[in-house]
Chains A and B, each alone.
Chain A
Amino acid sequence: MTKAVWSGVFTALAVLVFSSQASAQATASGTVTVSASVNAKAKLTLGSGSVTFNDADPDVTPLLTATGAVSVDVKARTSSAANVTLTVQSGGDLTSGSDTIGISNLTWTATGTNFVAGTMGTTAVSLGSWTGGGSVAGTQTYRLVNSWNYTTGTYTATITYTLTAP
């Protein structure tokens, strides 16, 4: 008899413990704070490391065009309102030994958003400018004034491109 009573009690307890109960939804929450550092960056890629002008008759071709356009790939990261600038600057005039051609005879045309045409100098000249960060591609085609007054020779000059993302 005693055994039967305890058996009944345990059975009831088991039913209570393991039976499901319809109860309100339980929730728990947690928070994670996320931080991200985004620093200024500038990346400039030129499609060619050299540009060549072929010889031509000044009367027929008063303005020489370089054999190929230079592709210019600009990537910059800066603040939303900051001005990203791309400039070019020659280290000096075109030289061939002691002979020179004034660097201002070198001009260019450009394609691509906010790329601009210009005339080369020994100080920085704008090739393009943009507001805020991003990626943009363009081309630059050099032209050289052709003159009978040029002394024969193979002339060279080094052009420096500077991309600035403040």
Chain B
Amino acid sequence: MIVSRRLLAAMIAWTAAAPGARPAAQVSTTTLSASVSTAAKLNLSTASVSFPDADPDIVPQIPTVGGPVLITAKSRANPGMQVVLTVQAADDLRSGVSLIPASNITWTASGAGFVAGTLSKLAPVTVATWVGSGVRTGTQQLYLRNLWTHPTGTYTVSLLYTLSAP
């Protein structure tokens, strides 16, 4: 009886180890690749803002109607690289032949990485900076310096916001 059991065990062990008992193990490799490139997406809560008329003695700095611009900046950048949001005026504020220098527009800002500044038509001015990838939100409240010397008129200017993720 003991002999029979040992024989049976030996046969099972041999069957399991025999090459013909099951398919041979086959190792295959598949190379998976995923491309993660830099990306940037900018969302501004409004496409237009306006400054109402006001008495320069009472309101020396006019805020825009409707409050600040809400800015959402999504960026994917290389590690350690600085993501930058800038704004630049296309020109001075113009009303026919009359103009108000773009530098008369300033802003305050809220949100991590956002900074206050003064608009320029000559060069981009930093609105916010961050390091690395992420989704960031903040607000920018624009103000117009209100002077008696501003010629009357309805002025317009375009502001170009640029988000760069290196």
Residue positions of A touching B, CB distance < 8 A: 1, 5, 8-9, 12-13, 16-17, 20-41, 43, 75-80, 132-135
| Contact A21 B151, beta carbon cutoff 8 Å | no
The 6 closest A-B pairs by CB, nearest first: A36-B51, A28-B40, A26-B38, A28-B42, A26-B40, A39-B53
Min CB distance, B86 to chain A, in Å?
10
| Contact B142 A34, beta carbon cutoff 8 Å | yes
C-alpha gap A19/B93 in the complex (Å): 46
C-alpha gap A119/B33 in the complex (Å): 93
Min CB distance, A109 to chain B, in Å?
26
Q: A76-B148, A78-B151 are in contact. Are A35 and B38 (CB under 8 A)?
A: no
Residue positions of B touching A, CB distance < 8 A: 25, 27-44, 46-53, 55-57, 62, 64, 69, 73, 75-79, 93, 95, 97-98, 100, 105, 142, 144, 148-166
Q: A29-B162, A35-B51, A38-B155 are in contact. Are A23 and B78 (CB under 8 A)?
A: yes
C-alpha gap A166/B78 in the complex (Å): 58
| Contact A77 B158, beta carbon cutoff 8 Å | no
Contacting residue for A34 out of B50, B56, B73, B76, CB 8 A: B50
